[in-house]
């Protein structure tokens, strides 16, 4: 059901317990086609561990009443967010869990909008940062250059 944005941001907090290993991948979708849902269902059948999950949320409502350039976050149209969250405890599971998340990410790419929520992007996706901010990216680079010339705040 409807949730305040701060509730959305806190939804994953109980899952991020100390000692757990985590790897996330994310896509935005303008729609969830039957083909995309089929890919998701296949991935669910192949979950590499009991803490791995695929989270789909519908984003819209109040976010659409703010102009794209008013904040850093540009995805203002109603859409779906997919967060592929691989979570496990044992280092021996690294390859299986990360590989599962990456394979699902690649398999859903043909159905994706080409954007993603920046907080769901892992550190190995720096090539997607500009697309995540869309037309706001250049303005944000200038703000960063002006107020953080020493690059104190970074990934």
CATH number at residue 122: 3.40.462.20
Q: Is the pLDDT of residue 41 over 90?
A: yes
Residue 8 lies in a domain: no
Residue 155 lies in a domain: no
Q: Quick check: 97 and 23 in contact, CB under 8 A?
A: yes
Q: In this predicted structure, what is the pLDDT of residue 64?
A: 84
Residue 142 lies in a domain: yes
Quote the number of domains for the chain: 1
Range of the domain at 110: 20-147
Q: Quick check: 87 and 20 in contact, CB under 8 A?
A: yes
Q: In this predicted structure, what is the pLDDT of residue 81?
A: 92
Pairing of strands 21-29, 79-88: antiparallel
Residue 14 lies in a domain: no
HSE-CB for 56 with a 13 A CA cutoff: 13
Residue 15 lies in a domain: no
Q: Quick check: 96 and 87 in contact, CB under 8 A?
A: no
Q: Which tokens in the block code for residue 16?
A: 């991020």
Average pLDDT over residues 8-26: 84
Query: pLDDT tens across 95-154, in order?
Result: 999 999 999 999 999 999 988 888 888 888 888 889 889 899 999 999 999 999 999 988
Residue 53 lies in a domain: yes
């Amino acid at each position: 059901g409807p949730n305040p944005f701060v509730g959305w941001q806190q939804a994953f907090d109980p899952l991020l317990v100390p000692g757990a290993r985590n790897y996330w991948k994310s896509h935005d979708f303008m729609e969830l086609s039957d083909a995309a849902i089929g890919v998701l269902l296949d991935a669910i059948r192949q979950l590499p561990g009991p803490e791995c999950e695929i989270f789909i949320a519908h984003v819209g409502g109040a976010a659409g009443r703010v102009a794209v350039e008013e904040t850093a976050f540009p995805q203002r149209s109603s859409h779906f967010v997919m967060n592929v969250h691989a979570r496990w405890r044992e280092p021996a599971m690294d390859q299986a869990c990360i590989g599962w998340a990456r394979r699902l990410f690649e398999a859903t790419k043909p159905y994706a909008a080409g954007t993603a929520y920046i907080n769901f992007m892992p550190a190995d996706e720096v090539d997607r940062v500009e697309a995540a901010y869309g037309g706001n990216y250049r303005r944000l680079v200038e703000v960063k250059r002006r107020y953080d010339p020493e690059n104190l705040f970074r990934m």
